[in-house]
Amino acid sequence: MSQYPIIQIEALIDAPKALVWEAYNDPSHVVKWNAASDDWFCPAASNEVKDGGRFNYRMEARDGSFGFDFTGTYVRVYPGESLRYKLDDDRNVGVDFVNHGDGVRLVVRFEPEHENSLELQREGWQAILDRFKAYAESLVN
């Protein structure tokens, strides 16, 4: 358990909940939005969205200078509603897909790590969520 407070980020997404869920979880979509900036990308993703299922999102700098696997295990999946998972570094994350008018309020809560400032972590996770929002909204015809 982290000694720091839980960080919460969110986005209002103007897209149907089923589409938001799919875009957030399907690896063919994840590789298109999962990066905090244009300097990074997600060249590969695997995701088994079920209780006890594993995910692995490969994150790499475009210049080849650094890369890492973002990995964890789902603790509890409520299809179409929420995800609870534990990262392999033992931090907990929750993602809620909340109806909001004709769209979705996507709320992510996570335990911060201890290497980077809380603000840097909040900004990084929010940047990824903002990219997800833009991507998911682009799928709506």
Query: pLDDT at position 41, please?
Result: 97
* CA 84 to each of CA 25, 81, 109: distance values in angstroms, whole numbers, following the listed order: 13, 11, 10
Residue 55, in any domain of the structure: yes
Residue 2, in any domain of the structure: no
Number of domains in the chain: 1
**pTM for the whole structure:** 0.94
- pLDDT tens per residue across span 32-80: 999 999 999 999 999 999 999 999 999 999 999 999 999 999 999 999 9
Residue 104, in any domain of the structure: yes
Provide the domain limits for residue 97. 7-138
